[in-house]
Amino acid sequence: MELADIIRGRRSIRKYEARRVEKEKLDAVAEAGLYAPNPGGRQGSKIIMLDDPALIDSIGIVNADCENRHWDVGVSSDQPSIIDDQSIRSGFYGCAALAMVCIQRERRDQVNQIGAAFVCAQNMVLRAYDLGLASVIVGRAEATFERPGMRELLDRWGLDPAYLPIVFVCLGYIRGGYPPPKARLEGRYLYVPENKK
């Protein structure tokens, strides 16, 4: 698939089949994240990948509880979020696999660190689409792991305490049809040509 087609075709998907994702695909998605641009070339981020649906769901319930679920606008009618549908319990929507992008805690306030975590997540969702997987990027990772008992999970998984999760990537196989693209809003691109005086 051409890169331009992947960029145009990928959507945020929140409806998943109860079907496991092959480890080879999870490894390929993680590898794409590890190749994302990173500040100073330090390769300072880490990725944790989970594929236990019950564990993912339990963390997703905590994640959803970290969100103000009363926005004044909706997110999607095709792929409703926890903002659109109050009956959705998990912020991870029943996905089969979940990636967490973590950054160094001491660098948390450096301007490029959070951006680098989201660039990593973007690489991952593009690769996922190329592999036939559905995905959505979900925030609130830091808030999720600040809740009581959550840090113990990171310790159990072997994450160095110097790191903290910043963003999640939900992965799985789409349940139902793939939603069509939304029309792009006009006026979002400004081109300033060279001034040839």
Which one has a higher pLDDT value, 167 or 80? 167
Q: How much is the pLDDT for 100?
A: 98
Q: In this predicted structure, what is the pLDDT of residue 32?
A: 98
pTM of the model: 0.93
Averaged pLDDT, 21-50? 93
Express each pLDDT in 38-80 by its tens digit.
877 788 899 999 999 999 999 999 999 998 777 777 788 888 8
Q: Residues of the chain with pLDDT > 90: what percent? A: 73
Residue pair 13/169 in contact (Cβ under 8 Å)? The answer is no
Instruction: Please state which of the four CATH numbers 3.40.109.10, 3.20.20.220, 3.50.50.60, 2.60.40.420 is assigned to the domain occupying 3-172.
Output: 3.40.109.10
- Domain definitions of the chain by residue range: 3-172
Tell how strand 134-138 and strand 46-50 pair up: unpaired
Q: Is 187 helix (H, G, I), strand (E, B) or coil?
A: coil
pLDDT at 127 over 80: yes
The mean of the pLDDT values for the chain is 92
Q: Yes or no: say if 112 and 42 are a contact pair by the CB < 8 Å rule.
A: no
Closest listed residue to residue 100, CA positions, set 40, 43, 157, 147: 157
Q: What is the mean pLDDT of residues 130-157?
A: 95
Lowest-pLDDT range, 14-28, 70-84, 110-124, 129-143? 70-84
Six-digit token pair at 91?
A: 């912020």
Specify the pLDDT at position 77: 83
- The arithmetic mean of pLDDT across residues 118-145, rounded, is 97
